[in-house]
């Protein structure tokens, strides 16, 4: 009931806003960049949603531009902003917030949407998602395309290994002991099925952050100018990750590819995998066996990072355009639209109200794994975000790679990473 | 008067090409050099002159040295290998054999395919466990699975293999054209004199192919610095920069880290390396090349 009032309220404010813009004689043009990080329906769904909005608001022209991967999108948006011709709004990784502030190209939502109604709207999202969207008491991003990593397991492989197929590992120890039972070898002693797969190519820091959070340590402060890479608990988490293959033999050695991970799961090369909820629909459509989805296993506590993209409004546009942008963001993150988006992709709907819509309830009843990600949000923390974010994460990624490939001990690798991060961030303190 | 007309005529003909050359080659090169002496402008802080500080940072940057060494290994392995293989293939398909055009086409196919698409196929070959190479190794030889792209020792070699495979077919076309330009009477004369196949190749074919070899080797060197598409798709430079090359690192610094001045500094280094190589090739190798 409450949600109906809320959406009514939103619709009313949207109507009021569009009325306001309609009075000014000409239509408002908005350019909107969006990235696609998962295959399939994401791009068409965004286009459908913008078309629906344009149909209902003839005074606003939205030009939705597919801008490639997250990386491409932030590059394009920054290049366009530097050239004095930025888009009015864009979906960009939540962790790029500090970069965008540092480049001085975005505005805080509080500065352009400051009525009581707006304040209520800003507090309607899950707090776990807002951690990455706010700094210095202001909100710069509105969560939209957000995800969190979860553990997928192959129920048939569990049955074959005499494990309870309905029970995923709940702790680090269980993941190792179950993993050992799940490892299968052929006649000549070569592994044909691994216990678990935690991909580490490209951006290993994200899943590693799952491990550090579970070990009860935070990698960077909220101001984004100090990291905590050489904390003993971080070292311990990396040691656990390295030991999974080096000591316990439950995970393949070396760097493990992200892209091939769902495929390895489908092929039975691994019995468990850690990957984004953004893959949920993909796994549902392609896994040839019964699978389960669980929260990441706990050590000192439960925990996982959030991830994915936020809406940002760019500075260099007229007041009218900013107003229209906020109106559009409000509409697309409203429960009904957010639910549609979440069901099409597997991204986590960003507000509790979206989960209360009838469509979403029916979907969750039909496919309960969809709820796991939402439950995990209680334990989730902000994805690692700092100033000079790409460089800092690169420093951490290199350290993780050096430890996983056995070139450095976890402690040495992380100490070196911390020293480098301190050097880069010193000018922001 | 007609002489002056001729000058005007010449300049008019030259202008379009010169404008393009200046706008897209010389001007960017000069601004790159200028930018390398300034700090990176951020939204809140404009660029300021920092002298040689970017170059000091470059010398102190371990990643720079790592990618430079990687790139040198990459060049020394891929250049001779792709030239050698392309020459062998060209000599083979120059002979009369059954299904010659089919063989020629299949050798040339890698050149036609876009590198990004091809990299995705190679990614599957290298996948540990259920990738093509591991399936053969495990199925036939009973060896354990191997993470080809996940180890610092093997990842660069895997990248070299893809490059050689990609380039050899392209160079083969040039060698094939050159081989067909050699008059058959030379071969007949050599046969009458009783020269062996090896002597004929070493004393006649190889010297006659020298201009082609020069052209191909310049291309191979440029490509060893330029061809980085497959690194984006296959490894992203990892693990721990083990497969990162100079141009890939420049891209990362410029468009991921947004340190545009430092990227300009790296570009200056790359320009310098390439110019030195080009000058060296034209001045020293030219003397040993017989043009007909």
Q: Indicate the pLDDT class of residue B44, thresholds 50, 70 and 90.
A: low
- A12 token code pair: 């009313």
pLDDT recorded at residue A236: 95
- B166 token code pair: 């990609």
Strand segments, DSSP code E, in A248-330 are: 270-276, 291-294, 304-305, 307-314
Please give the share of chain B, as a percent, with pLDDT higher than 70.
96
Show which residues on chain B lie within 8 Å of chain A, measured between beta carbons: 42-44, 123-124, 127-130, 138, 142-145, 147, 149-152, 235-236, 238-242, 252, 255-259
pLDDT recorded at residue B94: 85
Interchain proximity A190–B142, CB inside 8 Å = yes
Interchain proximity B127–A104, CB inside 8 Å = no
Cα gap B67→B224, rounded to integer Å = 13
Using a CB-CB cut-off of 8 Å, the residues of chain B touching A104 are 42-44
pLDDT recorded at residue A18: 46
Smallest CA–CA distance, residue B152 to chain A, in Å, is 7
What's the count of helices (H) and strands (E) in chain B, helices before strands?
15, 0
Rounded (5°) CA angle A302-A306-A309: 175
Smallest CA–CA distance, residue B173 to chain A, in Å, is 35
Q: pLDDT tens across B90-117, in order?
A: 988 888 778 888 888 888 888 888 888 8
Cα gap A156→B134, rounded to integer Å = 25
Interchain proximity A253–B150, CB inside 8 Å = yes
Q: Which stretch of DSSP H or E encloses residue A109?
A: helix A109-112
Interchain proximity A254–B145, CB inside 8 Å = no
Strand order in the sheet with A191-197: A184-185, A191-197, A270-276, A149-154, A291-294
Q: pLDDT tens across B221-256, in order?
A: 888 998 888 998 888 887 888 999 999 999 989 888
- A416 token code pair: 């070196």
Distances (CA, A) of A308 to A155, A223, B278: 28, 20, 45
Q: Nearest 10 degrees: CA dihedral of A88, A113, A378, A373?
A: -40
Rounded (5°) CA angle A286-A288-A292: 85
Q: Does B292 have pLDDT greater than 60?
A: no
Cα gap A393→A417, rounded to integer Å = 10
Chain A: residue whose CA lies nearest to B152: A405
- Whole-model pTM? 0.81
Q: Which of A255, A402, A413, A421 to mutate to test the interface with B (most CBs of B within 10 A)?
A: A255
User: What's the N-to-C CA distance of chain A in angstroms?
Assistant: 47
Q: CB neighbours of A12 closer than 8 A, spacing ≥ 6?
A: none
Q: Indicate the pLDDT class of residue B291, thresholds 50, 70 and 90.
A: low
Interchain proximity B257–A390, CB inside 8 Å = yes
Cα gap A67→A86, rounded to integer Å = 13
Cα gap A256→A92, rounded to integer Å = 26
Between β-strands A149-154 and A291-294, what pairing exists: parallel, antiparallel or unpaired? antiparallel
Tokens 């993993």 — which residue? A179
Interchain proximity B239–A255, CB inside 8 Å = yes
**Across A132-141, B24-33, B44-53, least confident range:** B44-53
pLDDT recorded at residue A14: 47
Smallest CA–CA distance, residue A205 to chain B, in Å, is 13
- A49 token code pair: 């949603």
Q: Looking at this predicted complex, what is its ipTM? A: 0.76
Interchain proximity A394–B257, CB inside 8 Å = yes
Interchain proximity A190–B138, CB inside 8 Å = yes
Of A103, A189, A252, the CB nearest to B129: A252
Using a CB-CB cut-off of 8 Å, the residues of chain B touching A399 are 240
User: What's the N-to-C CA distance of chain B in angstroms?
Assistant: 39
- A197 token code pair: 């797969």
- B256 token code pair: 């991921």
Chain B: residue whose CA lies nearest to A106: B43
Contact present, A210 and A274 (Cβ < 8 Å): yes
In sequence order, what DSSP letters do the residues of A54-83 get, joined into one string?
HHH-TTEEEEEEE--SHHHHHHHHHHHHHT
Three-state DSSP class for residue A150: strand
Cα gap A182→A176, rounded to integer Å = 10
Smallest CA–CA distance, residue B99 to chain A, in Å, is 38
Q: CB neighbours of A23 closer than 8 A, spacing ≥ 6?
A: none
Interchain proximity B150–A256, CB inside 8 Å = yes
Distances (CA, A) of B289 to B65, B86, B285: 34, 19, 7
- A243 token code pair: 């030991």
Using a CB-CB cut-off of 8 Å, the residues of chain B touching A394 are 252, 256-257
Q: CB neighbours of A249 closer than 8 A, spacing ≥ 6?
A: A180, A183, A191
Quick one: DSSP state of residue B26? I
- A110 token code pair: 């509080």
Smallest CA–CA distance, residue B42 to chain A, in Å, is 5
Interchain proximity A256–B151, CB inside 8 Å = no
pLDDT recorded at residue B232: 87
Chain A: residue whose CA lies nearest to B236: A202
- A27 token code pair: 């239509």
Chain B: residue whose CA lies nearest to A420: B61
pLDDT recorded at residue A15: 47
pLDDT recorded at residue A242: 95
Show which residues on chain A lie within 8 Å of chain B, measured between beta carbons: 71, 75, 78, 99, 102-105, 186, 188-192, 194, 200-202, 252-257, 259-260, 263-264, 267, 269, 388, 390-391, 394, 397-399, 401-402, 404-405, 407
Smallest CA–CA distance, residue B220 to chain A, in Å, is 28
Using a CB-CB cut-off of 8 Å, the residues of chain A touching B240 are 398-399, 401-402, 405, 407
CB contacts < 8 A (A, B): 103
Mean pLDDT by 10 residues, chain A (429 residues): 47 46 62 77 84 89 86 87 89 90 89 86 89 88 91 94 93 94 86 92 90 93 89 95 94 88 91 89 89 94 91 91 91 91 86 90 89 89 88 92 92 94 87
Interchain proximity A201–B123, CB inside 8 Å = no
Cα gap A45→B104, rounded to integer Å = 46
Using a CB-CB cut-off of 8 Å, the residues of chain A touching B142 are 188, 190
Q: Does B206 have pLDDT greater than 50?
A: yes
Cα gap B165→B227, rounded to integer Å = 13
Using a CB-CB cut-off of 8 Å, the residues of chain B touching A102 are 42-44
Contact present, A406 and A246 (Cβ < 8 Å): yes
Convert A398-423 to b/e letters by CB count within 10 Å (16 or more is b). Answer: bbbbbbbbebbebbebbbbbbebbee
Of A260, A391, A405, the CB nearest to B240: A405
Using a CB-CB cut-off of 8 Å, the residues of chain B touching A314 are none
Interchain proximity B149–A404, CB inside 8 Å = no
Q: Nearest 10 degrees: CA dihedral of A392, A395, A400, A402?
A: 180
Interchain proximity B239–A254, CB inside 8 Å = yes
Cα–Cα nearest to A217, from A200, A241, A238? A238
Q: Which stretch of DSSP H or E encloses residue A152?
A: strand A149-154
Q: pLDDT tens across B124-173, in order?
A: 899 887 888 888 888 788 787 788 888 888 999 999 999 999 999 999 99
* Cα A190 from chain centre: 36
Chain B: residue whose CA lies nearest to A392: B257
* Cα A154 from chain centre: 23
Smallest CA–CA distance, residue A202 to chain B, in Å, is 6
């Amino acid at each position: 009931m409450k949600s109906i009032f809320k959406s009514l309220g939103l619709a009313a404010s949207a109507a009021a806003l569009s009325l306001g813009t309609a009075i000014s004689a000409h239509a408002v043009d908005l350019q909107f960049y969006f990235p696609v990080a998962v295959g399939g329906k994401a791009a068409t769904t965004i286009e459908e949603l913008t078309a629906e909005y344009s149909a209902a608001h003839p005074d606003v022209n939205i030009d939705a531009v597919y801008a490639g991967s997250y990386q491409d999108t932030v590059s394009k948006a920054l290049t366009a902003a530097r050239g004095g011709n930025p888009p009015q709004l864009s979906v960009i990784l939540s962790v790029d917030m500090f970069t965008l502030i540092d480049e001085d190209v975005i505005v805080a939502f509080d500065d352009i949407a400051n009525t009581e109604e707006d304040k209520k709207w800003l507090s309607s999202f899950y707090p776990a998602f807002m951690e990455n969207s706010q700094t210095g008491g202001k909100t710069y991003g509105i969560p939209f395309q957000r995800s969190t990593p979860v553990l997928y397991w192959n129920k048939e492989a569990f049955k074959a290994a005499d494990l309870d197929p309905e029970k995923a590992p709940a702790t680090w120890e269980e993941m190792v002991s179950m993993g050992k039972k799940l490892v299968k070898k052929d006649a000549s002693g070569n592994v044909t099925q691994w216990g678990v797969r935690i991909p580490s190519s490209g951006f290993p820091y994200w899943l590693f952050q799952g491990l550090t959070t579970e070990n009860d340590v935070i990698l960077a402060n909220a101001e984004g100018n100090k990291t905590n890479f050489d904390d003993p608990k971080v070292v311990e988490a990396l040691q656990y990750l390295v030991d999974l293959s080096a000591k316990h033999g439950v995970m393949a050695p070396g760097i493990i590819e992200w892209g091939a991970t769902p495929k390895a799961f489908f092929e039975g090369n691994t019995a468990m995998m850690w990957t984004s909820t953004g893959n949920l629909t993909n796994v549902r459509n392609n896994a040839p066996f019964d699978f389960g989805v669980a929260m990441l296993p706990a050590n000192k506590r439960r925990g996982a990072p959030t991830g994915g993209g936020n809406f940002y409004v760019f500075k260099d546009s007229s007041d009218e355009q900013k107003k229209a942008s906020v109106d559009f963001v409000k509409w697309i993150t409203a429960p009904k639209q957010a639910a549609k988006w979440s069901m099409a992709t597997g991204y986590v709907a960003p507000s509790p109200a979206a989960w209360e819509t009838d469509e979403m309830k029916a979907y969750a009843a039909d496919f309960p794994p969809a709820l796991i990600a939402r439950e995990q949000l209680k334990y989730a923390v902000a994805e690692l975000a700092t100033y000079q974010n790409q460089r800092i994460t690169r420093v951490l990624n290199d350290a993780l790679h050096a430890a996983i490939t056995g070139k450095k001990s976890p402690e040495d690798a992380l100490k070196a990473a911390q020293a480098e991060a301190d050097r880069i961030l010193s000018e922001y303190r | 008067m007609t002489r002056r007309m001729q000058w005007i005529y010449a300049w008019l003909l030259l202008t379009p090409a010169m404008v393009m050359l200046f706008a897209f080659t010389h001007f960017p090169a000069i601004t790159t050099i200028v930018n390398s002496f300034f700090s990176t402008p951020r939204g809140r802080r404009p660029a300021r002159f920092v002298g040689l500080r970017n170059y000091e940072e470059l010398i102190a940057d371990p990643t720079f040295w790592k990618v430079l060494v990687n790139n040198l290994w990459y060049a020394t392995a891929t250049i001779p290998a792709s030239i050698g293989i392309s020459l062998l293939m060209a000599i083979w398909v120059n002979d009369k054999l059954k299904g010659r055009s089919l063989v020629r086409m299949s050798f040339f196919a890698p050149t036609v395919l876009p590198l990004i698409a091809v990299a995705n196929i190679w990614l599957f070959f290298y996948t540990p466990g259920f990738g093509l190479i591991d399936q053969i190794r495990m199925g036939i030889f009973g060896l354990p699975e191997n993470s080809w792209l996940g180890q610092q020792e093997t990842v660069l070699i895997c990248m070299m293999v893809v490059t050689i495979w990609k380039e050899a077919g392209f160079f083969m076309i040039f060698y094939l054209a050159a081989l067909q330009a050699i008059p058959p009477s030379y071969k007949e004369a050599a046969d009458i004199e009783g020269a062996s196949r090896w002597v004929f190749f070493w004393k006649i074919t190889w010297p006659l192919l020298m201009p082609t070899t020069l052209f191909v080797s310049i291309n191979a060197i440029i490509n060893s610095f330029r061809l980085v598409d497959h690194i984006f798709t296959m490894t992203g430079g990892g693990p721990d920069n083990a497969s990162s090359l100079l141009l890939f690192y420049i891209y990362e610094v410029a468009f991921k880290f947004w340190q545009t001045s430092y990227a300009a500094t790296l570009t200056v280094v790359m320009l310098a390396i390439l110019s030195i190589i080009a000058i060296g090739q034209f001045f020293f190798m030219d003397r040993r090349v017989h043009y007909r």
